């Protein structure tokens, strides 16, 4: 039983590690692109704003498939639904301006952060999850700041672009730590 559980954890850790490296790369590239257009809602900014939650949908689906052996993926499917709604909400909010976008983005950051935090806590035994737990908590706080920032005199999307950078860094740290967890689980299965 322990050998099977260790193999499941090692396989999940390996899959999540690859996914987290991709999420890191995407977050950094997206943030750099978003910084170039953060002061207005042109077509490029709108496309980027809709793309980010859609990427989160794809990542959550991959995560759910990869982690079936280590627990229930229900919260990941909740994240899929929330991120799909967010992509649509952001697309609609773009017609109303940056404050509306920041409110939708903030609500999404709060809910997605809570999901990430809870999933990280449930995966603690896998290893490499403390960065995800911290990232989830930071996301909740950032979401609140987006909502508050929407009421500023001249709001911009710079904070949304900046939000992706620490998230990407947390994914990178977790990917590195998951590599250790995957190797440790493999060595305990194959002495």
Alpha carbon distance 55, 139 (integer Å)? 17
pLDDT (tens digit per residue) in 120-159: 898 887 777 888 899 999 999 999 999 999 998 888 899 8
Long-range CB pairs of 31-39 (<8 Å, 24+ gap) are 31/161, 31/162, 31/164, 31/165, 31/168, 34/157, 34/160, 34/161, 34/164, 35/158, 35/161, 37/157, 38/156, 38/157, 38/158, 38/160, 38/161, 39/156, 39/157, 39/158
Examine the pLDDT at 88 and tell me if it is beyond 60.
Answer: yes
Q: What is the pLDDT of residues 66-80, one digit of tens each?
A: 877 767 789 999 999
């Amino acid at each position: 039983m322990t050998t099977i559980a260790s193999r499941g954890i090692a396989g999940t850790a390996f899959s999540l590690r690859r996914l987290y490296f991709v999420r890191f790369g995407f977050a950094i590239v997206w943030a750099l692109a978003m910084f170039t257009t953060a002061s207005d809602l042109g077509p490029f900014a709108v496309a980027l704003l809709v793309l980010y939650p859609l990427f989160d949908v794809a990542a959550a689906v991959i995560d759910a498939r990869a982690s079936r052996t280590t627990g229930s993926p229900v919260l990941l499917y909740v994240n899929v639904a929330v991120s799909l709604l967010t992509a649509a909400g952001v697309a609609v909010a773009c017609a109303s301006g940056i404050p509306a976008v920041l409110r939708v983005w903030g609500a999404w950051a709060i809910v997605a952060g809570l999901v990430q935090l809870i999933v990280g806590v449930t995966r603690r035994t896998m290893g490499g999850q403390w960065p995800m737990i911290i990232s989830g908590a930071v996301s909740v706080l950032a979401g609140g700041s987006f909502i508050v920032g929407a009421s500023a005199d001249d709001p911009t999307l710079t904070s949304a672009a900046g939000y992706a950078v620490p998230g990407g860094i947390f994914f990178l740290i977790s990917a590195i730590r998951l590599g250790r967890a995957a190797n440790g689980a493999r060595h305990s299965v194959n002495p």
